[in-house]
Amino acid sequence: MAITLPKIFLDSGDPEETKKVRSLLGFVDGQTTNPSLIAKNPEVQKLIASGKRLTEKDLLGYYHEIIQEISRLIPGPVSAEVYADWETPASQLLKQAEEMTTWGRNIYVKFPVIPEGLKAAHEFVLTGGKVNMTLVFDQIQAGAVYSAVREAKFPSFVSPFIGRWDDRGINGLDLVKNILRQYKGLNRELKRPSQVEVLAASIRTLDHFYACIFMGADILTVPLKILTEWIHDEQWIPDEHYRVATPGLRILPYQHVPFRPDYTQYLIENVPDSLLSQGLEKFISDWKKLTA
């Protein structure tokens, strides 16, 4: 059984890392960013260290410049994330998305998979927008994405997060495996190929990286540290004999999630201790730390 290397994206908010990966690997298929990664950008960190507090306009200006530079370096998709909390209306998310699409050649706007994020994404793709649906932690969210963007004019991305499940002692790789199985079933049921590509995110280890290749994820978004380890491992690609090692982690069981043509019928819950709420709060916190 031949295993095909998926598309490899860099997960970073630093164009210097983009240059380094291009130099080391000879290629990079795309790049993903988010508020936390932009907060780690060395230039933004210098501003904060100097005591400067940024207005939201300042911060979006830096984000714009960073995305523009990354877009000049790579021809593939570049993901820029809207600011969202549970109260942000879809209209405001759409306004941000429309602005972000002007930042580069092939911008994919990242919407969190919360009710207003789904609503914004659904409207955005109908007008030709490209989306990367982020902060995905369960198959209900994945089902909602499949339904919400099924009339998109371009392929969409869904980003299941692996590492956050591992932090709770549950095998986050199962989430990627389960969504791949879920989408294959939906494709058969609806007799049409999916417009959604599974983009494995929150990859923390080289084992995560290899397992996602082995399972058949469409795209992997990977930090520089893991890509450097892969290069030191001579860019090995797992074969049919590879076995995923997840010692001490509990199984995340597969759920049968029925297809619903109305994406609003998928129940996305705002539970304070859920991975979704915690993930959204982390991005909000990182963004607000930078602003006056």
Q: List Cβ neighbours of 235 (8 Å cut-off, separation of 6 or more).
A: 25
Q: Quote the pLDDT of residue 51.
A: 75
Q: Quote the pLDDT of residue 291.
A: 77
Decide if pLDDT at 292 tops 70. no
Decide if pLDDT at 225 tops 70. yes
Q: What angle do CA 270, 248, 200 make, to 5 degrees?
A: 50
Question: Domains in the chain and their CATH numbers?
Answer: 7-290 (3.20.20.70)
Which value, to the nearest 10 degrees, does the dihedral of the CA atoms of residues 20, 74, 177, 120 take? 130
pLDDT band for 1, please (50, 70, 90 cuts): low
Q: Identify whether the C-beta of residue 152 lies closer than 8 Å to the C-beta of residue 195.
A: yes
What average pLDDT does range 255-274 have in this prediction?
Answer: 93
CA distance 179 to 110: 19
Q: Quote the pLDDT of residue 56.
A: 82
Note the pLDDT tens digit of each residue in 95-113.
999 999 999 989 999 999 9
pTM of the model: 0.95
**Active centre residues (catalytic):** 110
